[in-house]
Amino acid sequence: MRPNKIKQMWRDGKCVTLGWLSVSHGFTAEVMARQGFDALCVDLQHGTAEMKDVGPMLQAISQTDTVPVVRVAWNDPAAIMKALDLGAYAIIVPLVNTAEEAAQAVAACRYPPVGFRSNGPVRAMHYGGADYVANANDEIVVMAMIETKQGIENLEAICATPGLDAVYIGPADLSFALGMAPRADNPDPLHMATCDKIRDAAHKAGIKCVMHCAGAEFAAGAVKRGFDMVMLTSDLSCMIAGARQELQALKAKTA
């Protein structure tokens, strides 16, 4: 089976860079995949993609060495299994509140006898290799998002879930949980301390912790703080920032 680069980098003690796809288009996915990210996530929760878009987007990503990741919209075994069958090598599950919910997410990603994933890797076998079914349990990465009051309360139990590879911090919803308005790259001391608490709990349990960032400066700080993966930017954010920068430059030069 094709090795999962995310797991390889984690074994080597390296931080993984993750890009984000909010736009549901194969060409956008291909362009982002060619920029050098270690992994790239199709967002089914808040992006414009639907499940019908996932296959073509993963095909586009797979033209490169970038690891294909999918964030499902909910902790739904059917959606998780479908994304895996289409070739996702990592699954991000949002709004995980308990160890039981984390265990359900893990089980949906693992073939029996470890989990209850149904056998039918229609595209995954072509991407991963003929021995996909025999090795998928060891290669597929499962990440549970910690972003609610209940998730924080059950943090240690969630991190101790057998088979869970990482917890993923959702900073916007985490802000809600802490009584704050969501903002990108939140520097609030309580928010920062809570993120560090999540990181420490993950590392204590022997799993990884991911920080969702909006820019390079905050992401670099997260790497220095010991996070194992940083989401750096999205296709939509880059489009907005690039267009705004050029338009403002034109206005400034022609004022």
Q: Could you tell me if residue 93 is left (phi over 0), alpha (psi between -120 and 50 degrees) or otherwise beta? A: beta
| Helix 77-85 with 51-61: angle, nearest 10 deg | 30
- Could you check whether the bond before residue 189 is cis, i.e. omega within 30 degrees of 0? no
Q: Which residues contact 79 (CB under 8 A, 6 or more apart)?
A: 44, 51, 72, 73
Decide if 55 contacts 86 (C-beta within 8 A): yes
Q: Is 46 a catalytic residue?
A: yes
Closest CA to 136 of 161, 149, 151, 119: 119
Among 25, 46, 126, 212, the active-site one is 46
CA 151 – CA 163 distance, rounded (Å): 18
CA 43 – CA 36 distance, rounded (Å): 19
**Residue 52 is encoded by which pair of tokens?**
């019908």
- Please give the positions annotated as active site: 46
